[in-house]
Structure 1
Amino acid sequence: MVAGGSQDPLAQEFVQFAVESGVLRFGEFKTKAGRLSPYFFNAGLFDDGAKLGRLAQFYAKRILASGIGFDMLFGPAYKGIPLAAAVAIELARLGRNLPYAYNRKEAKDHGEGGSLVGAPVRGRVLIVDDVMSAGTAVRESIGIIEAAGARAHAVAIALDRQEMATDNGEDSPYSAVQYVRDRLGLEVCAIARLSDLLQYLQQHSGDAIGAHYPQVLAYRQRYGVE
């Protein structure tokens, strides 16, 4: 599997933004699956107002372009909380003012109590998160949303790694995104995918950043799925 196909301008702009922000790094990183990955995406490093605001713009553009219908946003603790809030603000700025909610890791036993914060969880819910490794966080979110009487309808993520998920330490023939879409029945939209990253690196072959292309390509050829 190699980089190719038509270019996605929004994805290319996002990859460049992630690289410039230090969120997308290259080297050797151990993943949750125990693999040695030549790149690492850490959305926690969108760590100031300007970066978070621009990130929300990318999410909002991709979500609106996807045509996915939804009634509210949900941010799973912890990384999904600021993401859902920021995306809700950006969507409102673009004319779609929607409620959002998030969960606590531990239920509160005083005040309003419970594990949910924000708007009542109702209707079709769009889950906002950074990446999906195994779909575990999405399954947990689905349980929370359904317990509130709503329906988890879709997931928006920043980066689709397009790689095999693992099941009990074994490689699966599907990715976490494919699992969530095909087995859990949720729509998924991603700002960018690994194939977009490969295109970006290939187009910067004359720069230092482009030197990472062979390692990332080899990783995709070993673990990649569409």
Structure 2
Amino acid sequence: MTDPAPVRVLLADDEEMIRHGVRLILRHADGIDVVGEAANGAEAVRLAAELRPDVALVDVRMPVMDGLAAIGPLLALDPAPRVVMLTTFGDEDNVTRALHAGATGFLLKDVGPQELINAVRAAAAGDAVLSPGVTGTVIRRMLQGGTRPGTDDRAARLAGLTDREREVLVMLGRGLANLEIGRLLGIGVGTVKTHVGSILEKTGCESRVQAAVLAHRSGLVD
């Protein structure tokens, strides 16, 4: 059986030292190739159209075109890369704007090497990825705002979940990606995806972030 094609990654950051550090981390990961680097959003869009990466790791603040402005043009490409913001700036406004624009994930630059590698693999597989601190930011915004899944019938929404699905829901509430959930529970990523899909269907949540909010509102996660 042939090995799967490596995940092709484009780095976009105006700081050469950051690009160098991320490249070194990803270079030593099996099944990941860094195919290009850009110093601003406009260059990232041009290179993505040429190199066709699977994942674009994009800084928020860059000259010429910042990372947030680059999300739309990147997602308009065919094929479009998964866009993951990798930044120092995890404030609520940046997180909300990035996710609303269609970013697959939002990671802070203090993320550990293995967490970064896992996030790239998860994004390439179509999984949403958020740093734990960012997950907290999103959940706080949703709890304070108008998005309130399961406010009146939380018990009913959870009643149909199996014990395993409850375990997965707790981990969603903690901001874990499918790869991490699978590793902790000793199950495959495909099985985790099946559980997540069942959780969303049974609880009526539209996304894993809404499911995470439900986990917090229901007292499953502090």
TM-score range, shorter chain: 0.3 to 0.5
Higher RCO by CA contacts (8 Å cutoff, separation 6 or greater) = 1
TM norm structure 1: 0.33
Greater strand fraction, Structure 1 or Structure 2:
1
Report the structure, 1 or 2, having the larger helix content. Answer: 2
TM-score, reference length from structure 2? 0.34
